[in-house]
Amino acid sequence: MADRNKIEYNWYEILGLEYYPAAEENEGKIKARIEEKRKEWLRKETDPLNGTKYKNYGELLKHGVIESEMLDSTKRRELIKDAQNKLFEPIDKFLKYFEGSIITSKKIREIADKTKRKEELIKKRIEENGKIELYDEKIYKNYCEYINRKYEFLTVEQNLKILDKKDLYKFLNSENINATRLNEGGIIEAIKEKRKNLIKSDNETSAKKKLLTECEKIFGNNGKRNEYDEYLKYLKYVNVKKELEEIKTIYEVTDKQVSNKENDNFNNIKNILNSEKEAKNIFIGFCEANKISYNISKRSDDSNRPQETRQNDAKRLSEAACERALNAIENFRFNEAVKCLDEAKYYWPENPRIAMIRKRMNEKAGASPNNYYGNNNNQNRSSGNSNSNGTNVILIVSGVILFIVIVVMVFLTIKNMSANSSDEKRTQSEDNFPKVTSPTSGTTPENNENTTPPVDTNHETINGYTYLKDDGKASTFSSRDLGYEEGMMGVSDNSSAYENIKAKYCNAVNEIVKVDEGIVPGTNTPFRQATYIEVDDAYKEYLQEIAQMRQVVFLLNNGNDSVIEPESGCFYKGTRWNTENSKYKAKQFERDEIVNYYNNYGNQY
């Protein structure tokens, strides 16, 4: 930005000279253009709007400034570079978000519309960038055309199945006939020789005879052979279609963005086609056609990445798992903590924090060093003692519980019998004597009886959760834009804002999962001390935060909102409470204001 400010007048732009892709540097042509512009500026000096500008150009020309800069090869190169930078700057602001991935024609059109640049220019810039692949929609169209074709090779397939062969090429190879090397005549001669030896009368020999007959027809005719080759490609695409349909089914249920890096179906497609490029282009075309949110990187594996980078990634993932384990421990979710620590060990077995966190977990659980949550080696060494002690404890606890249950049942039985006896006596008395009204209370003796336990009128139970009874207060939740986009979009450096968002994201996740412990998010208040509406409002508030932080990251990361979770170490996977009650989805809380802000300011830097 500072270098460009040094160039107040870029004469390539002002004179209308070509500066990309091949800059005009012929000094004779440059002089001729300067003379043309001199006459034009002189005519336009009286222009009421821009006359001052043209007078200024004329003055600079009189003082020799224009020629001195344009006829100096060093200065000329600076002007060319500056003009090219200004040409591509708005394009590059968009393209940096596509580096390492594939860009579609639709996205190129959108960039062209936003930057007021031609699509061909954007494609040229993508080629120069070298870090972005162009989506080839012809590959997906070709797939769609193939998948709708009809072929008649039923006899071939039936007999290949008997011999357990994949296709006719494999069959001929098994008969020592190399169809890829031999020409038409050579294949036919080899088939005739092979048929002479088929004298047995069994299913296998019969299948071979039929296949050799089919091979004569197919490999003896170029048109038929091409048709069979296309049929083999069709069979591959049938298998690809099955994988794509599974991707669609999973997306419809989970509503989770599909990534070629983490998707088994994509890897299956790549293996079926034996071509990553073809797999990616078909994958993108299918996702676009079916409105499936996806994220695709340039490589679906990291085998070529530097070892140091892979090790750093593994350590980062291990640390993130440790943070989740600590969070689970603080919320007494020890089984979850054990899983997180196992994950941390998988990524980085030597991580020193793992042992420290296990110790913290044992202290929090009030357990001995050899308990279930201790490290695996200790568990194995003392499994006999631990199991024995655990069994004894379980037996004792079970005995105590059983005794309490029996006592309670006996007490309730006696009380019930007593109440029934009292009811019978009262009924007999009421049948023999008239009811008496109390002169003071205006109630009958029956009303003064207290034979049933009092009902809890202060609480209500909804879907298995107990809350304070509804006090009639309306919801206080406000659906609104929380403003996370303002520090992240349209700024030259959003790293500090992103660190804040990651911290806020972790806080929101940690608070929202409290509902599964019967605690109101954002507080330490149990459900029994809050109404259902208060719990619901608190849940929506934190889900709104999570949704809008994801939305901002989604827009700034080429449609990928999944980066914030591994980078922050906090993962929101939904809650049992929400599943059993309101079933809110994060998408419900996204805001159009964020999209509008992104469109206006998101790509200025």
DSSP assignments along 51-82, one per residue: HHHHHHHHHHHHTTHHHHHHT-HHHHHHHHHH
Which residues touch 578 (CB under 8 Å, ≥6 apart)?
515, 539, 543, 584
Q: Is there a contact between 423 and 451 (Cβ–Cβ < 8 Å)? A: yes
Per DSSP, the residues of 162-179 read HHT-SSHHHHHHHTT--T
Q: Give yes or no: residues 366 and 471 share one domain.
A: no
pLDDT band at residue 561 using 50, 70 and 90 as cut-offs: low
Q: Give yes or no: residues 468 and 425 share one domain.
A: no
Is residue 485 classed exposed, middle or buried when 0-12, 13-18 and 19+ CB atoms within 10 A define those classes?
buried
Listed residues 261, 295, 329: the one ending a domain: 295
Residue 23 belongs to a domain: yes
- Relative to beta strand 294-295, strand 258-259 is parallel
Q: Give yes or no: residues 290 and 395 share one domain.
A: no
Residue 451 belongs to a domain: no
Residue 179 belongs to a domain: yes
Q: Does residue 520 have a pLDDT over 60?
A: yes
Q: Determine which of 37-46, 195-204, 425-434 has the lowest per-residue pLDDT on average.
A: 425-434
Range of the domain at 271: 154-295
Q: Give yes or no: residues 100 and 42 share one domain.
A: yes
Strand partners, 468: 459, 531
Residue 148 belongs to a domain: no
Question: Per the structure block, which two tokens stand in for 237?
Answer: 């695409």
Q: Does residue 403 have a pLDDT over 60?
A: yes
Question: Per the structure block, which two tokens stand in for 333?
Answer: 């979710």
The model's pLDDT over 564-604, given as tens digits with 9 standing for 90+, comes to 888 888 888 889 898 888 788 888 999 999 888 888 876 55
Question: In this structure, what are the phi and psi dihedrals at residue 22, rounded to the nearest 5 degrees?
Answer: -110, 120
Count of beta carbons in the 10 Å neighbourhood of residue 131: 12
Q: Give yes or no: residues 166 and 274 share one domain.
A: yes
pLDDT at position 240, please? 94
Q: Is there a contact between 510 and 570 (Cβ–Cβ < 8 Å)? A: yes
The model's pLDDT over 472-486, given as tens digits with 9 standing for 90+, comes to 888 999 999 999 888
The model's pLDDT over 189-241, given as tens digits with 9 standing for 90+, comes to 999 998 888 888 888 999 999 999 999 999 988 899 999 999 999 999 999 99
For residue 534, CA distances in Å to 330, 333, 515 come to 24, 25, 12
Highest mean pLDDT among 395-399, 421-425, 434-438: 395-399
pLDDT at position 439, please? 39
Residue 108 belongs to a domain: yes
pLDDT at position 447, please? 41
Q: Is there a contact between 479 and 544 (Cβ–Cβ < 8 Å)? A: yes
What is d(CA 42, CA 55) in angstroms, rounded to the nearest whole number?
7
Q: Give yes or no: residues 588 and 478 share one domain.
A: yes
Helix (H) or strand (E) holding 261: none
Q: Is there a contact between 578 and 535 (Cβ–Cβ < 8 Å)? A: no
**Into how many domains does the chain fold?**
5
Q: Is there a contact between 484 and 544 (Cβ–Cβ < 8 Å)? A: no
Residue 533 belongs to a domain: yes
Q: Does residue 449 have a pLDDT over 90?
A: no
The model's pLDDT over 243-291, given as tens digits with 9 standing for 90+, comes to 999 988 888 887 777 877 667 888 889 889 988 889 989 998 998 888 8
Strand partners, 462: 465
What is d(CA 298, CA 56) in angstroms, rounded to the nearest whole number?
50
Per DSSP, the three-state class of 242 is: helix
Largest CA distance in the chain: 132
- The whole model's pTM is what? 0.43
What is d(CA 597, CA 587) in angstroms, rounded to the nearest whole number?
18
For residue 9, CA distances in Å to 25, 88, 143, 373, 423 come to 17, 18, 52, 71, 105
Can you tell me the mean pLDDT for 147-168? Answer: 89
Count of beta carbons in the 10 Å neighbourhood of residue 20: 13
Q: Taking the CA atoms of the chain, what radius of gyration do you get in angstroms?
A: 39
Q: Give yes or no: residues 107 and 27 share one domain.
A: yes
Question: In this structure, what are the phi and psi dihedrals at residue 328, rounded to the nearest 5 degrees?
Answer: -65, -40
Mean pLDDT, all residues of the chain: 80
Question: In this structure, what are the phi and psi dihedrals at residue 457, rounded to the nearest 5 degrees?
Answer: -90, 0
Highest mean pLDDT among 427-441, 483-497, 510-524: 510-524
Q: Give yes or no: residues 330 and 426 share one domain.
A: no
Residue 132 belongs to a domain: no
Q: Give yes or no: residues 32 and 119 share one domain.
A: yes
Q: Give yes or no: residues 397 and 367 share one domain.
A: no
Q: Give yes or no: residues 411 and 368 share one domain.
A: no
Residue 551 belongs to a domain: yes
Q: Give yes or no: residues 523 and 426 share one domain.
A: no
DSSP state of 517: G
pLDDT at position 443, please? 40
Closest CA to 287 of 272, 274, 269, 299: 269
Q: Does residue 297 have a pLDDT over 70?
A: no
